[in-house]
Amino acid sequence: MTSAATTTAIRTFAIDKAHSEVTFQVRHLVTKVRGRFTDFTGTVQFDEARPELSSASFEAGTASIDTGTADRDQHLRSEDFFHVEKFPSLTFVSSKVTRTSAQDFGLMWNAALEAGGFLVGDEVKISASVQAVAQS
């Protein structure tokens, strides 16, 4: 009896800080405050054939918050908000990955550049703004 070993094709991807950003916005009175975290890391473990084996994790240093206003940033680092001494990082770990449709949309238009490469990149960065409500 011969048994064939099954191997998974899980690939690991690390976030490229030079080409990534972690931003946020929050309502403040009638306007919105926007900011970013400058210190972050993360990885994606991806199995195209079996996406349920995939996962993602992310961490941002709370002390790296930057809203463009030094006094506000200091206040956000305080115990009133992030309390960075006690909570130095924000962490996200996926609990589930589900394929909802084919991953490639079949977009074929592009234009080659004289200097090499193409006019439109293969990757599109999508930001999502979410709101959550505590459940009792």
Per residue in 88-103, pLDDT tens? Answer: 999 989 898 888 777 7
Residue 114 inside a domain? The answer is no
As a whole number of angstroms, the distance between CA 81 and CA 67 comes to 14
Q: Is the pTM of this model over 0.75?
A: no
Whether residue 39 is predicted with pLDDT greater than 90 in this model: the reply is: yes
The answer to whether residue 86 is domain-embedded is yes
Q: Is residue 88 part of a domain?
A: yes
Q: According to the model, what pLDDT value does residue 101 have?
A: 76
Domains in the chain, number: 1
Domain of 59: which CATH number? 2.40.128.110
pLDDT value at 106 more than 80: no
> What is residue 36's three-state secondary structure?
strand
Residue 26 lies in a domain: yes
Q: Which of 89, 82, 92 is nearest to 42 (CA)?
A: 92
Digit-coded pLDDT (tens) for 9-35: 888 988 888 888 888 888 877 778 889
* Domain assignment of residue 117, yes or no: no
pLDDT tens for 62-92 read: 999 999 999 999 999 999 988 999 999 999 8
Q: Which amino acid is at 25?
A: Q
Q: β-pairing, 89-93 with 55-61?
A: antiparallel
CB 24 within 8 A of CB 34: yes
pLDDT at 27: 81
pLDDT of 132 strictly over 70: no
Q: How confident is the prediction for the chain on average, in pLDDT?
A: 82
Is residue 89 in some structural domain? yes
Full residue range of the structural domain in which residue 23 is found: 11-93
Q: What pLDDT, on the 0 to 100 scale, is given for residue 13? A: 87
Other CB atoms closer than 10 Å to residue 22's CB: what's the count?
20
